[in-house]
Amino acid sequence: MPTAVVSGVYGALYSLLDENQNTILAAAGGRLRLSGATRVDGKKSNPVVAGDQVEYEPGKDGQTSLITGIFPRQNSFIRADQQRHHVMAANLDLVLVFQSVAAPDFNPGFLDRALIEIENSGIPAAIVINKADFLETLDSDTREELNRRMAVYRSLGYPVFCESFSSKVSLPLQSLVATGRTLLMGQSGVGKSTFLNRMAGKELNETQEVNLALRGRHTTTNPRLFQINQDMQLIDIPGVKEYGLGHLSQVQLNTGFREFADRNCKFDNCSHTHEPHCGVKLGVEENRISEARYKSYLAIVESMSDQWKPRKGDFWRGVSKKK
């Protein structure tokens, strides 16, 4: 049976790219739709996503093809709340998290949330700060704070690129995405579309792959995979206002902060918020951990604390509280 990669999601329909880069319109078989409706933990998820490698049964006489199977994912990138896990894309080699100097302003909270998911997914990441030409318009305090934050991320091992896509994409950034499959994520207005167009050398039309006007609903909020050349694939996630981490535990949240590793806290389950003899808090006091990053961590913990409380029916310490 032939195979292809999922390049777009349009409600109940999918666009696929076969090995010859031909676009195929397909639907998912009933078993696939049902298998993705609910995860093991009871939260809903989507079954087929951009980047999935699938088997399909070609449609006859111009009919829609049928996706019959999905190969195991090497990795996946998730955005979630308490009701739904949304897998944004799968089988990634790199995630680029886009920010901008201004319009919109640099948003460290969004960036830190994205990096938490990236760390837990095991996918390499880089940070792209667009609109570097706006740096001179910032007051000196704001500019210095932005430079300090970029230095912190670099010290943690994240490549940081300061760019001006209005003129060009730097050669180092071009080289980074030249091979493999890269996910582009960031809030609206940070320059992802301009980056895509510059890498493609042309204006990319959202609907150029397949015309779904008469076949289904075109959903612009779903990720799209673009085959830029034989070696490069870019997946664009349309701009999101917030990045949800509702699928992660307290331990996974801690894992998302590289600087928290091996801090020799007194308690193995230290939350790094109130416990005595906390290695993370000591690192902040001794300026070995960024105070700004630690405050970002505390804000995320506060925003997620309610969902970690045991509720009726939860399994708590191995014993169900439901009678």
Tell whether the model's pLDDT for residue 219 goes beyond 60: no
Distances from the Cα of 225 to the Cα of 25, 47, 191, 208, angstroms: 14, 17, 17, 12
Average pLDDT over residues 106-135: 96
Rounded Cα distance, 36 and 29, in Å: 11
Number of H helices, E strands in the chain: 8, 16
pLDDT of residue 247: 82
What are the extents of the domains in the chain? 3-74, 88-236, 250-311
Q: Same CATH topology for 88-236 and 250-311?
A: no
pLDDT tens figures, 69-96: 899 999 999 887 656 678 899 999 999 9
pLDDT in tens, 246-300: 888 889 999 999 999 988 999 988 999 999 999 999 999 999 999 999 999 999 9
CA atoms of 163 and 177, how far apart (whole Å):
15
Query: What superfamily does domain 3-74 belong to in CATH?
Result: Nucleic acid-binding proteins (2.40.50.140)
Name the pairing type of β-strands 224-227 and 232-236: antiparallel
Nearest CA-CA partner of 256 in 154, 112, 158, 78: 112
d(CA 101, CA 229): 30
Mean pLDDT of 237-251: 81
Mean pLDDT of 209-221: 45
Residue scoring higher pLDDT (36 or 306): 306
What's the rounded Cα separation, in Å, for the pair 296 and 245?
A: 14
pLDDT of residue 81: 61
What's the token pair of residue 315? 């399994």
The CATH number fitting domain 88-236, selected from 3.90.76.10, 3.20.20.210, 3.40.50.300, 1.10.645.10: 3.40.50.300
* Percentage of the chain lying above the pLDDT 90 cut: 68
Confidence of residue 36 (pLDDT cuts 50, 70, 90): low
Place of tokens 């909020």: 221
97 Cβ neighbours under 8 A, 6+ residues apart:
111, 114, 115, 118, 125, 126, 127, 128, 185, 186
Please name the residue that has the structure tokens 């009933």.
Answer: 30
Q: pTM of the predicted model, to two decimals? A: 0.88
CATH of domain 250-311: 1.10.40.50
Residue 18's pLDDT is what?
A: 94
